[in-house]
Structure 1
Amino acid sequence: MAQLQDEGARTDLLNRLKRAEGQLRGIQRMIEGGESCMDIASQMAAVRKALDSAYVRMTVCFMQQELTQRLGMNEQQTPVLEGMLDDMQTLLGKVR
């Protein structure tokens, strides 16, 4: 399977994962500090949503990269594909 070639997309994904990592550390501190289960569960749900969002973003970036290459799209055709994939990302974001 191919790797993400767009440096901007890779940076975006890494930043999303670093934020989720920070949230996980915060949850660990909450557990160590004896916070309520409801508060911890709320933060866990937020981390799950962040990871789901990162996964969808990675998938859409991969699709854009592969479709552009395999279909031999030129720079004039790319914005149409980007618009469609942005819409798809929005729709998939609502599934969670």
Structure 2
Amino acid sequence: MTTALTNEAARNDVINRLRRAEGQIRGVQRMIEEGESCLKISQQFSAVRKALDSTYLRMTMCFMEQELQQCITPDQLQPEGMAAMLKDMESLLARIG
């Protein structure tokens, strides 16, 4: 997988999502330092995980869009490129969860 996140809007979306998750992680650290209850901390951990999962899914969709653009030309489908892309997609999707 060598494609980069080239779409400016998608790149900004991913960066913003990561910044929100970063803020949530700092919040969890602060909660631990301040002695918050484990229940409240675990709720924040859950929010962080969801934020990161959502960002990972967005990155996966960007990858898929980029790969499809490379594999499908206006007049023909490039089967070897599609097979490689599907293998990479399988690898990415296996990491969700």
Q: TM-score, normalised by structure 1?
A: 0.74
Cα pair distance change 1:69/1:50, threshold 3 Å:
same
**Corresponding position of 2:79:** none
Kindly, what percent of the aligned residue pairs are identical? Answer: 60
Gaps of 5+ in 1: 75-91
- How far is the alpha carbon of 1:38 from its aligned partner? 0.4
Q: TM-score, normalised by structure 2?
A: 0.73
Runs of 4+ with >6 A deviation: none
**Corresponding position of 2:29:** 28
**Structure with bigger gyration radius:** 2
Paired with 2:6 and 2:74, the residues of 1 have a C-alpha distance of: 16
Paired with 2:12 and 2:55, the residues of 1 have a C-alpha distance of: 12
Gaps of 5+ in 2: 76-92
CA RMSD of aligned residues (A): 1.9
**Corresponding position of 1:69:** 70
**Corresponding position of 2:84:** none
Count of matched residue pairs:
77
1:1-96 to structure 2, matched below 5 A, reads: 1-73=2-74
Paired with 1:63 and 1:73, the residues of 2 have a C-alpha distance of: 17
Paired with 1:17 and 1:72, the residues of 2 have a C-alpha distance of: 33
Paired with 2:26 and 2:33, the residues of 1 have a C-alpha distance of: 11
